[in-house]
Structure 1
Amino acid sequence: MRLAIMQPYFFPYIGYFQLVAAVDRFVFYDDVNYIKNGWINRNRVLAGAGDRYITVPLSGASPSAKIRDVPMQPREVWLRKMLESLRHTYAKAPHYPRVSALVERSLSAPTDHISTLASQTVVDVCQYLDIDTEFVATSTQYGNAELKSTDRVLDICAKERARVYVNLPGGRALYDEATFHSNDIELAFIQPNLSAYAQFEHAFRPGLSILDVLMFNTPDRVRAMLSTEPSR
């Protein structure tokens, strides 16, 4: 079985979904410390010839808080504004009606915490694209929060009986291949593919939220864009 572990991100970029599509089970790393100014509660979307952030405002977020424990501000503070902002940018995009319905449904998930909401955005996009990867959160499954870094990853792999642990390129600086090999686990990586596609009449801006990809491409086309084979 192939396994990946990542923090839950808010409508993340296509590379995150290429990782999801490359594994059998995807683990949301939700009981580690919150990272300020990361991708847990925000992402970038198109803005004319440039880009801008869409952000879920939080209450009491700090580097000492676990992601799963960080609450969002009430939806009446931000939801309508975010939906209107997306409508203003993407109303003329070819797949806006379906994708805007996806966004509204995803952001209405019954939770007050950003970890659950961010995870839900990933799960809902995968359902939209018919990606059948299984999802689980570290806070609900493994009982090993006392372990750190590689030791925890190896323990999760052992409990899942995973034979391949798949990473984005940043994992190369974190993990030692020999350590995984000694535990009978192959360490593999995918290289994100940020293929260009039409974004109205502007020059292509890569690495935006998956929402941008969905607005301009059919589900079949996006699934083809997600096909990335891991390598060592």
Structure 2
Amino acid sequence: MQPYFFPYIGYFQLIHSVDSFVVYDDVNYIKGGWINRNFILSQGEKVLITLQLLGASPNRLINQVRVGNNRHKLLKTIKQSYSNAPNYAEVIELIETILNSPQTNLALFLDFGLRQVCDYLGLEREWVLSSELRKDVTLRGQKKVLAICKELEASHYINMPGGMELYDSASFAQLDVKLSFIEPSFRPYNQKNSEFTSALSIIDVLMNNDLNKLGSMLNDYKLIKKSD
């Protein structure tokens, strides 16, 4: 998966479902996606937080983009939004560690954040950066994913639901690799709001749920197969 900025719970359910997680850092940056932005709740309203970037372009790889200078402002926004949340004290420390990272390479900054959240959640997995794997760098799309599976000797590839439009089971079967997709679950939890808002940044989930509840939420997903 491409590295995202404090992604939603489904991203971490995906990590929970695998033995090895590959951070797909050597693919093109997608403008308007979730690589550098996400939603939180502020005073009961859905608010977009965006990490400033330098040199971002669809013609550049994620690991060729730099992080901008608004991390302090984002931290202030998160503090103001969640100061009364039940797990604020411990979670804001985690978020401060991530946002205060000296790393300015976007891929490595996001990779650091994902690892820190996984450590907090107790998710210990083999962790791989796609750019560090030996493969044909001219490959694109499904062929590139298949090359990664072959390099890691994978027997089962799991992706998010959006991958159903990109990958076909027959091509993976030729390498003796099963293909599945995760169906995330958004179990409602108390947001101190009149109506539950799902699929927010993991920040909202962490702020409002203790580790026992988080463990149950990480397990709350299904694996599905594509009908070719």
User: Structure 1: how far apart are the matches of 2:134 and 2:98?
Assistant: 26
Match of 2:108 in 1: 116
TM-score (normalised: structure 1): 0.93
Q: 2:19 aligns with which of 9, 24, 36?
A: 24
147-156 or 184-193, which deviates more: 147-156
Match of 1:158 in 2: 150
- Counterpart contact for 2:42–2:82, Cα < 8 Å: no
Match of 1:137 in 2: 129
Match of 1:3 in 2: none
Structure 2 stretches lacking a partner, 5+ long = none
Higher relative contact order (CA 8 A, sep 6+): 1
TM-score (normalised: structure 2): 0.94
- Once the two structures are superposed, the pairs formed by residues 1-232 of structure 1 within 5 Å of their partners are 6-74=1-69, 78-227=70-219, 228-232=221-225
Shift of 1:229: 4.2
- Counterpart contact for 2:6–2:202, Cα < 8 Å: yes
Shift of 1:86: 0.9
User: Structure 1: how far apart are the matches of 2:136 and 2:102?
Assistant: 27
- Counterpart contact for 1:11–1:209, Cα < 8 Å: yes
Structure 1 stretches lacking a partner, 5+ long = 1-5
**Aligned residue pair count:** 224
What letter is aligned with 1:231? I
- Counterpart contact for 1:42–1:54, Cα < 8 Å: yes
Moved over 3 A (4+): none
User: Structure 1: how far apart are the matches of 2:214 and 2:35?
Assistant: 23
What letter is aligned with 1:135? W
Shift of the 143–109 alpha-carbon distance from structure 1 to 2, 3 Å rule, reads: farther
What letter is aligned with 1:31? D
1:207 is paired with a residue whose SS is coil
- CA-based RMSD: 1.2
What letter is aligned with 1:173? E
